Structure 1
Amino acid sequence: MSVHLEDSIQSESLPHQPAALDESLKPKTEGGRTVGPISYFFMWLGDGVNLGNMTLGASMVVAGTATLNLIQTFAAAIIAIGIISVVFALNDRLGYRTGIPYVVQLRMSFGFKGSVVSSLMRGIPAIIWYGFQSWIGGTALNEIAKVATGGSFDSVATCFVVLQLVQIALSLYGFHAIKWVEILASVVIILALVYVFGVLLTSHGAAITENWVNAKGTWGLPFFGFIVMFLGNYAAIFLSAADYSRELKSGVSDAKRGFLYFSPIFLAYGFVLTIGAMLASATGISNPVKAFAIVVDNAYITVGVSAFIVIGAIAVNMVANIVPPAYVITLLTKLKYKPAVTITGLLAIGSFPWVLVQDSSAQGLGLFILIYSAFLGPIISILLVEYYLLRKQQVNIAELYREDGPFAGYNPCALLAMFIGAGAAFIVVELAWLVGVFVAGIAYYLLMKYAWKDSPFKKGTIFDQSM
């Protein structure tokens, strides 16, 4: 299926754009799409193979014993990955068809002013994840430095800052740099993890079997809580699916794009979650870098594995944690893309990522995911209800760029539905994302139907009384 043009996507159809609008926020043209299906596959493969996902797997192990056993872990992961792929494929369609970024897509439901609030809900978690991934990468870089200096250098904070500055420099090159970093990282890191997987099985199999494989576990609320946590880990990424699909070359069908999400996420996410649980079960330590140092008791191999961890941290940040907040900063400040990614990197330095994961437990990371998921679930639900139910996939893209058009100001229905959904999500925080999705979606549909009868946001929807 080729890119649809029924959504009025040609840049010449956007006469009301302000002169200061950065090029990165304009609809991506056919010639500007540089990522092919193979590169797109490796991009998501590289994104999934990261220490954040591994730490999430380690978070299942508390006080040396897993909350879920092997079968329960795989069941929770497969259910979560299936939901991730479906929602990804549904929400990426507008960006793929029209070339608009996520921050502009938000205007469809929230309006120019309302999109500021909802875009921050995506941008802030990404900046914290950026800092967290860099902190893990800095920890690994410090392990390399300790070996290289014979133990005379030992400063994770210094390595963290150095790695952050390198990522800021790389991010200035935009998606062109991302594509090549991801292809290299995904292949190299998976080879390293296959080696670690083998070491864990041969040297720590008994501890892993006792503490994880044969753990009693549960099929109760904690099981569903981990599904939502696994799901919530990708909630911010598939919310801004348009930021990625707009870079994909045209001619890729909806089904094929769904496959390009499911297959790499299944391979990478599932494998890395497994290794995280195995590491924590074998060592009792939730920080994967420190657990690696115990499992791989060889200086040269430690350097190699640590190097792969550093590459992985850079790879996932380049995909998931730099572009979305940079677009938000560009939208709010009118800055160009390069200053925006620089500010994003500097903000990530001050995100205090080391608070999320302690040696004994990674529960802080899980709680962080559940909290921000309470807001991201409602937003994705509102966008999908808007696009598929209310607008029947017909959107006038030119109107989304008109500051004096029907999407000016804010849509009270969307903001109210978002807060209703988030409020409901916090009632059962273990299931935050799922609760928020259902409650906010229903609330938004009913509010658009019955409230604010003269709202300009109803123009072009099934509730447009002028039609």
Structure 2
Amino acid sequence: MAELRKSDYSNEDLRPTRAEERTWSAYNMASLWIGMSVCIPTYTLASGLIAAGMNWWQAVLTIVLGNAIVLVPMILNAHAGTRYGVPYPVFARLWFGTKGAHIPSLMRAIVAAGWFGIQTWIGGSALDALLSSLWSGWANIPLHLPIAFLAFWALNVWIGYKGPEAIRSLESWGAPLLLALGLCLLVWAYKAAGGFGPMLSAPSKFKTTGEFLAVFFPALTGMIGFWSTLALNIPDFSRYAKSQKAQILGQIMGLPTTMGLFSFIGVAVTSATVVVFGEAIWDPVVLLSKFPPLVVTMGTVGIVLATITTNIAANVVAPARAIENLFPRKFTFGLGAIVTGIIGIAMQPWALLANYAAYIFGWLGTYAAFLGPLDGVAIADYWLVRQKKIDLVDLYQASGRYHYSKGINLRAIIALGLGILVALSGRFIPALGFLTDNAWIVGLFVSAASYWYLMRGHGSVLSDEEFRAITDLKKTTETVSQTAEVALEGLEGR
């Protein structure tokens, strides 16, 4: 009766969510995405594309298209979280094994820790600049920038330490406030410039379709890479959703729409600054410093809130869960959040933000080549190989069907390796550059096809009869702990 409680692969945070814990509505899911999408990197995202030669609508369209594409695996992977109530590291055991799951969870965690460092550096720098504009003596304080950075870092770690429910509350009330502030900035830009300014009328710098496509495809990969991280660990959040309808509608309403709108606000407001101030100001912190103190104060609150809502949900949950999954009996989610913060500093975010070319085509594009294949393995396993049928208890057992050979599914590692190899082949063979330009999509399909082929007829796949027996509560009560019983409640209807 207490198999999960005694399991070395389970603890209070990694167990399946209970029915009463599944409280997230479509609004909560949409709020999650609004809170994560409204941030300084989104505001400035289009600037790198415009600098590369696109006009404003080409840049915004590339961003929206990239987010619409990544929304598909986002919804597909979220299904498992909502149906079975498991977090991402446990979901990964399904395809990589009880021990092999550390590979995808740590791959996701490293990227998230890097993003955590980037966001805290941006937020800390913004806080430092805005404090300087509000109080002239702040700039005279020794090490004022490191102080602002560490203060902001500590605030992020503290909220992350409080756990997922604190994140839900923060996103729910923060999302409408952030949208309102963004729209106010858009209205100011329109009125102050007598329109949106010259940037919106500037033509593309590309003379031919070929020149445009040469930039478009690697840029699209970068835009997909922006949220390809969450496409993997979305079960960490969808496990709290009330239903599949709630997670699907919430994500559709929240992700591509907000990313498109806020990146357009960034372009439009920056275009207006050319008219109002005589120069293009892409940095919202620099822009706010030109306003009266009251506006600066309100803007400071908005930027701090925007950075925190993005950072906590997108960049703390995944690595905290991954670290917790390494040592389920010793680490909690809170301790994982602290370790995430330390790693984020160690990754030197100031170097990752050295320039926008390195940011979009280097940082975003490169890790997309690793995460796309992971998405391919996850989708192929759950939807094609197993057709959504999972033995929930075996995900927590060393002797279960998902332990594979010594805890590792070698087939998943081979499929992952093939996807990464093909996706990055253009780095070594110039003639195959188009594969690397579309690294995320190419890697996803190569790994998905490879994994499906390698796993055909595998013994870990449940038959319809086995699945019906497992989901029969009268039988599972004899072998499954109360925790798993509640998680399986109503499974057939989800």
Alpha-carbon separation, structure 1, partners of 2:410 and 2:43: 39
Deviation at 1:422, TM superposition (A): 1.0
Does residue 325 (structure 1) correspond to residue 316 (structure 2)? The answer is no
Could you say which residue in structure 1 is the equivalent of 2:236?
243
Indicate if the aligned counterparts of 1:76 and 1:224 stay in contact, CA closer than 8 A: no
Equivalent AA in structure 1 for residue 408 of structure 2: Y
Could you say which residue in structure 1 is the equivalent of 2:491?
none
Change (3 A) 1:333 1:15: closer
Could you say which residue in structure 1 is the equivalent of 2:488?
none
Aligned residue for 2:98, secondary structure, equals: helix
Does residue 175 (structure 1) correspond to residue 175 (structure 2)? The answer is no
Could you say which residue in structure 2 is the equivalent of 1:187?
176
Does residue 267 (structure 1) correspond to residue 257 (structure 2)? The answer is yes
What percent of counterpart residues are identical?
Answer: 25
TM-score normalised to structure 1 length: 0.86
Alpha-carbon separation, structure 2, partners of 1:13 and 1:241: 28
Could you say which residue in structure 1 is the equivalent of 2:376?
381
Change (3 A) 1:216 1:17: farther
Alpha-carbon separation, structure 1, partners of 2:61 and 2:152: 36
Alpha-carbon separation, structure 1, partners of 2:255 and 2:30: 9
1:406-417 counterparts in 2 under 5 A?
A: 406-408=401-403, 409-417=407-415
Deviation at 1:331, TM superposition (A): 0.8
Deviation at 1:113, TM superposition (A): 2.2
Deviation at 1:128, TM superposition (A): 1.0
Equivalent AA in structure 1 for residue 312 of structure 2: M
Change (3 A) 1:58 1:306: farther
5+ residue gaps, structure 1, are 1-11
> Of residues 126, 131, 154 in structure 2, which corresponds to 1:165?
154
Does residue 305 (structure 1) correspond to residue 303 (structure 2)? The answer is no
Aligned residue for 1:168, secondary structure, equals: helix
Could you say which residue in structure 2 is the equivalent of 1:9?
none
Change (3 A) 1:16 1:115: same
Deviation at 1:184, TM superposition (A): 2.6
Alpha-carbon separation, structure 2, partners of 1:245 and 1:207: 38
Alpha-carbon separation, structure 2, partners of 1:261 and 1:356: 28
Indicate if the aligned counterparts of 2:118 and 2:349 stay in contact, CA closer than 8 A: yes
Change (3 A) 1:16 1:198: closer
Deviation at 1:189, TM superposition (A): 1.9
Does residue 460 (structure 1) correspond to residue 481 (structure 2)? The answer is no
Deviation at 1:434, TM superposition (A): 0.8
Deviation at 1:129, TM superposition (A): 0.8
Indicate if the aligned counterparts of 1:102 and 1:243 stay in contact, CA closer than 8 A: yes
Equivalent AA in structure 1 for residue 300 of structure 2: S
Equivalent AA in structure 2 for residue 35 of structure 1: W
Change (3 A) 1:393 1:17: farther
Change (3 A) 1:221 1:26: same
Aligned residue for 1:215, secondary structure, equals: coil
1:420-459 counterparts in 2 under 5 A?
A: 420-426=418-424, 427=426, 428-449=435-456, 458-459=460-461
Aligned residue for 1:220, secondary structure, equals: helix
Deviation at 1:336, TM superposition (A): 1.5
Change (3 A) 1:22 1:309: same
Deviation at 1:136, TM superposition (A): 1.2
Mean Cα displacement is larger for which, 336-345 or 207-216?
207-216
> In the TM superposition, what whole-angstrom CA distance separates every residue of 1:346-389 from its partner, at most 9, and x where no partner exists?
2222221122224xx42222121111111110111111111111
Alpha-carbon separation, structure 1, partners of 2:414 and 2:269: 43
Residue correspondences, number: 437
RMSD: 2.6
Could you say which residue in structure 1 is the equivalent of 2:490?
none
Indicate if the aligned counterparts of 2:419 and 2:444 stay in contact, CA closer than 8 A: yes
Could you say which residue in structure 1 is the equivalent of 2:108?
122
Q: Which has the larger radius of gyration?
A: 2
Aligned residue for 2:43, secondary structure, equals: helix
Could you say which residue in structure 2 is the equivalent of 1:46?
35
Deviation at 1:173, TM superposition (A): 1.9
Alpha-carbon separation, structure 2, partners of 1:425 and 1:258: 29
Equivalent AA in structure 2 for residue 460 of structure 1: L
Deviation at 1:315, TM superposition (A): 0.6
Alpha-carbon separation, structure 2, partners of 1:150 and 1:106: 51
Could you say which residue in structure 1 is the equivalent of 2:223?
230
Indicate if the aligned counterparts of 2:126 and 2:285 stay in contact, CA closer than 8 A: yes
Deviation at 1:300, TM superposition (A): 3.3
Equivalent AA in structure 2 for residue 397 of structure 1: L
Indicate if the aligned counterparts of 1:95 and 1:242 stay in contact, CA closer than 8 A: yes
5+ residue gaps, structure 2, are 427-434, 467-494
1:350-365 counterparts in 2 under 5 A?
A: 350-358=346-354, 361-365=355-359
Equivalent AA in structure 1 for residue 216 of structure 2: F
Alpha-carbon separation, structure 1, partners of 2:81 and 2:69: 19
Indicate if the aligned counterparts of 1:287 and 1:357 stay in contact, CA closer than 8 A: no
Does residue 148 (structure 1) correspond to residue 134 (structure 2)? The answer is yes
